[in-house]
Every structure is written in C-alpha cells, then in structure tokens.
C-alpha cells in the first residue's frame, strides 16, 4: 500500500553556538509538539488527523535526537529557552503544547517557563516524575541497548525485522506497551495500524537523546510541574505498560488547572488502534476550546 506523506519542511538553526533541528507540518493554529523517546522531528504518529483539523505542528528534534546538538539539553530549562528562540524565528507568540511519553518533561518545562506563550498543554502517555531509577534493571538494560555506540544496530535490526515480519514484531512489542494480552491487542489493530508501527521502527533512532532522557527522568522535576498555569489535558491509557498510571495521577495532583482523562484503549501508543479517532477528537476539542493564538504558520 502506498502511504501518503505529509508535506514537511525541515529547518536548522544555530542557537547559542549549537544546532537545533525542527520541522513544520501543515498550516493553521500552531502546536509545539515534543516527541517521545527514540523519535525526532520526522515523527508522524497522529499528525495527519491534526493537520486535517486545521493545525500546524512544529516539532523540534529534542537534544541528542536527529541533528539537534545534545548540548542544548543540559537541563530542561535551558532547552526550553532554546525552543522559545525557535518560536521567535517563526514569529509565533503562542502555541498549544503536546508532550508525548519521554517528551513530557520538555512540554512541562516549556509550559512552566512560558505561561504567556502557552494556550494549553496536552500530556499524552507522558512521563511526569521520576521514571527509571538509576539502580533499576530496566535503566541499565535501556542504557546498554540504546547507548550511542549500540543504538544504530539495535534499530537497524528492529527495522529489518519489522519490514519482513511486521505482525510478529508488533506482538513482541505488545508486552512493553500494554497490560493486555497479545490476543486482545491484536483484535484492535487494522492493517494501517501495523503499517504505522512498521514506519515508526524505520524512523526511530536513539542517538544521544535517549541517554539524556534517562538522565532527566531519573530524578524529579516537580518544581516545574507545580508551576504550570495553562489549561492541561492529561491523556493516559489504563493499560499503559510503558509509563505507569502513577505519572498521570501525579500530574493531576500537581497541576491545579488540569483535567485527567483515563482511556480504556489498548495501551501506550494512543495514535493507533480502534480508539485512536475518539482520542484525537478529545484533543481537538480541548485545543479549540482554549485557542487564544496570536500567530499562524504558513508553509
């Protein structure tokens, strides 16, 4: 099946002597989207629905991912200042923020530091507190598999197997994404969902970004979370195995202006499966309700 590609423009800018890569997709009300772990500014999960709904998506490759220098992400606060400069270059005053999974801390930091530039914050399957302790086995295994010296080969193998045995590979990933059985999850997937999973695995690289994510999420950042002022929608699956429900409840407890929506979908990846359209509709309604935008993006 031929997949229709969204028109995407890539940009590179120098910030404080280092490179920041970002992309713009679509025209209309701007969204600043912080991708999850292993991704970059070429992310596409959920993008088509947002563009069709009249949104423009600005996606920086977070520090260490894609072509963005890891030095830009020494701290979450320093990275947020660089994203602010990126928006200045695009002449955008206000944005909606979508923060996904390991991109949660980045979205929380930006919303905390720039309340006057944030129309709304949407946390999707997001990390909102300490994730993997440095003492945990999962932390040590992740650091080994996705170390900058090994991650290229890890993802080459995953991509190769996904291209030839996509259903088999998806089933191997299910226990990492969902509390449900493989049989239950497969009933919710269409061919197009498996194709999206295949493209995801061909797109992913960890670079030096995932190690930076592990560092940032091995400790708390509650000082940022508790100072978020914007309307916030927290979307989290009841069946998420990758990021526990504790993160969603912690965000709800810490952000006074937040709404928590627990989803009875299949798991971590909210953009595939039979409930994906309904979840998108919740996102769209929330953003349009809080749309105070002062600038649009035109390709």
Burial code (b: 16+ CB inside 10 Å, e: under 16) for 229-268 equals ebbbbbbbbebbebbeeebbbbbbebbeebebeebebbbb
The Cα-based distances of 95 to 20, 55, 60, 280, 287 in angstroms read 19, 10, 14, 18, 10
**Tokens representing 249?**
């409840």
CB 35 within 8 A of CB 41: yes
Interacting residues of 176 by C-beta distance below 8 A, sequence separation 6+: 241, 242, 268
The 29-34 sheet, strands edge to edge: 8-15, 18-25, 55-60, 29-34, 95-100, 118-124, 232-237, 258-263
Is 218 assigned a catalytic role?
no
Q: Which of 69, 101, 109, 230 is labelled catalytic?
A: 101
Residues with catalytic function = 101
């Amino acid at each position: 099946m031929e997949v229709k590609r969204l028109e995407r423009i890539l940009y590179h800018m120098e910030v404080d002597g280092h490179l920041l890569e970002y992309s713009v997709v679509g025209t209309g009300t701007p969204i600043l989207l912080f991708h999850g772990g292993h991704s970059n500014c070429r992310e596409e999960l959920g993008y088509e629905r947002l563009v069709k709904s009249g949104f423009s998506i600005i996606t920086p490759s977070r520090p260490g991912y894609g072509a963005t220098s890891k030095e830009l992400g020494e701290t979450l606060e320093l990275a947020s200042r660089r994203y602010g400069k990126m928006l200045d270059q695009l002449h955008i005053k206000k944005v909606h923020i979508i923060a996904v999974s390991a991109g949660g801390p980045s979205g929380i930091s930006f919303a905390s530091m720039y309340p006057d530039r944030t129309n709304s914050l949407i946390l999707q399957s997001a990390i909102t507190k300490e994730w993997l302790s440095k003492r945990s086995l999962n932390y040590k295994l992740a650091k080994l598999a996705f170390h900058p010296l090994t991650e290229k080969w890890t993802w080459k193998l995953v991509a190769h197997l996904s291209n030839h045995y996509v259903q088999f590979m998806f089933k191997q990933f299910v226990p990492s994404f969902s509390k449900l059985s493989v049989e239950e999850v497969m009933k919710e997937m269409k061919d197009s969902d498996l194709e999206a999973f295949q493209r995801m695995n061909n797109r992913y690289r960890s670079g030096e970004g995932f190690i930076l994510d592990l560092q940032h999420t091995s400790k708390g950042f509650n000082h940022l979370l508790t100072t978020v002022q914007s309307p916030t929608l927290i979307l989290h699956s009841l069946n998420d195995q990758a990021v526990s429900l504790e993160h969603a409840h912690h965000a709800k407890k810490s952000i006074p202006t937040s709404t928590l929506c627990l989803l009875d979908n299949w798991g971590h990846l909210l953009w595939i499966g039979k409930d994906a359209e309904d979840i998108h509709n919740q996102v769209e309604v929330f953003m349009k309700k809080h749309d105070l935008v002062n600038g649009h993006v035109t390709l």
